[in-house]
Amino acid sequence: MSHSQSAPQAGAQPLTRTLARELKDHVDQKAMVHGWLHKKRLMGGMAFILIRDRSGVSQVLIEDKAEQEKIASVQIGSIVRIVGQVVSEPRAPGGVEIHEPAVEVTNPIHEVSPIELDKDISHRPDNLETLFENKVVAVRNLKERSIFKIRSELNRYIRQFLHEQDFTEIQTPKLLAGATEGGAEVFKVSYFEREAVLAQSPQFYKQIMAGSFERVFEIGPTFRAEPSMTSRHMSEITMLDIEMAFIEKHEDVLQFTEKLLYNILTRVYAEHADTLKLLKAPELVIKPNFPRYAVDQIHEMYTKATGESTIGEKDMRPDEERWIVEYAKEHDGCELVFVTEFPVEAMKFYHMVNPDKPNKVLWADLLFRGLEIATCPMREHRYEKLMEQMKNAGLDISHPGYKYYLQAFKYGMPPHGGFGFGIDRLVQKVLGLANVKEATLFPRDMNRLTP
């Protein structure tokens, strides 16, 4: 993919900007690069500088003393325009170097950056707060920056895949009249003369909209007031939410989840192999059909393998999640695993009970690299049955958060299902980052509201 900005050289016309990645197409020509002074090095009277732009870095050799002087007096981060001759140089980044440059510092900087931009930034747990505090500058680091390029690309692949599958993008409100589920974990907003809350999930809205467009998705922020300081929690999360109607069975949800994840993961590994290598992302072990294990089956396998009994537990332990993914990676050749057959004791009111096994729910969890990344259930779409499940769960169906949701069912909902996952968590897992906050531009938690 080349997005050329540069026009062929034409007589007295001023040169247009050439990006670092395009320089190789200008060997033996004059070119202009304009970017951030990324690095400077003096070697035996010769100065080598690197100029950074959005596509990478260009190496420039400055031999002339007067030109060297211009760079000597300014700091890394200064904006510099270089006009010079492009020559082939296998030892330089991209295989080219600019010689005999005319140097112009278009925006001189005199302060020393608090973050080194030409070296790796430590992601050790004890350095993360320093990284986050200086993120405004740290995102200029090539490696740090590439995390968010991958994130942008994953978003794009998801949207493109969903469009090809006839999905409609929706934008649902984040300001709501009142909390429904987990009221303790919602942020309260002073809303004119009354109180509003911030949406924890577009769950109800996506179901409502599946009642119109059948296939809908949203990528947007959600807010969780969980007072947890862990590597997995943030108070603001970017979620992908998907809902699809007129499915025939729960299996349709699982197959669609497989198709989406297989598509975007194999694509990012194919199209960004170099970046993933730079970021030391783990190799991808994947098959089009993800292995499936029932909760009880995993409890048995885990108990047998480790000697630690989990038999009879209604949910999965974090250790078991890690164990089963490792197991599947080795035995099934796939590090994405569905955990199926959750017991009704663990269900949410909007899940559908398995009609063939009334003590099981039509719900599967998707695990990826040791972590649950998505919950993939079929929903209860029958109005009477849904109200019954809500009453059994002790919910007040007259609450505004439920009242409008129930209208969708009262006036006709088809069978549907869907899933959602945090984009932050997906990026974290793809890149093998230890903390979800490393995958987020400006993370938010109990203690951090800046930058």
Segment 189-218, which members bind a copy of itself (CB under 8 A)?
Answer: 189-192, 194, 196, 198, 205, 208-209, 211-215
Q: How far apart are CA 352 and CA 358, in angstroms?
A: 10
Q: Shortest gap between Cβ of 179 and a copy of itself (angstroms)?
A: 12
Q: Does 36 bind a copy of itself (CB under 8 A)?
A: yes
Q: For a copy of itself, which stretch binds (CB under 8 A), given 60-68, 275-283, 333-341, 412-420?
A: 412-420
Q: For a copy of itself, which stretch binds (CB under 8 A), given 93-101, 253-261, 371-379, 399-407?
A: 399-407
Q: For a copy of itself, which stretch binds (CB under 8 A), given 88-96, 219-227, 274-282, 314-322?
A: 219-227
β-bridge pairing 416-422 and 371-377: unpaired
Number of H helices and number of E strands within the chain?
Answer: 12, 16
| Touching a copy of itself, residues 82-141 (CB under 8 A) | 106-107, 109, 111, 113, 134, 136-137, 139-140
| Touching a copy of itself, residues 355-374 (CB under 8 A) | none
Which of 3, 91, 277, 331 is close enough to bind a copy of itself by CB under 8 A?
3
Q: Shortest gap between Cβ of 374 and a copy of itself (angstroms)?
A: 18
What's the sign of the alpha-carbon dihedral 141, 142, 146, 147?
A: negative
Q: For a copy of itself, which stretch binds (CB under 8 A), given 23-31, 83-91, 272-280, 439-447?
A: 439-447
Q: Does 163 bind a copy of itself (CB under 8 A)?
A: yes
Contacts of 99 (CB under 8 A, 6+ apart): 61, 84, 85, 86, 87
How many residues are given for the chain? 451
Tokens 């010079």 correspond to: 84
Q: Does 157 bind a copy of itself (CB under 8 A)?
A: no
Q: Shortest gap between Cβ of 447 and a copy of itself (angstroms)?
A: 8
Amino acid residing at 120: D
β-bridge pairing 236-245 and 215-223: antiparallel
Q: How far apart are CA 430 and CA 376, in angstroms?
A: 20
Q: Shortest gap between Cβ of 208 and a copy of itself (angstroms)?
A: 5
Nearer to a copy of itself, 259 or 322 (CB): 259
- What φ, ψ does residue 81 adopt, rounded to 5°? -110, 130
Nearer to a copy of itself, 78 or 310 (CB): 78
Which of 26, 40, 250, 381 is close enough to bind a copy of itself by CB under 8 A?
381
Q: How far out from the chain centre does Cα 180 lie? A: 27
Query: Rounded to 5 degrees, what angle do the CA atoms 320, 323, 326 make?
Result: 150
Q: How far apart are CA 1 and CA 149, in angstroms?
A: 14
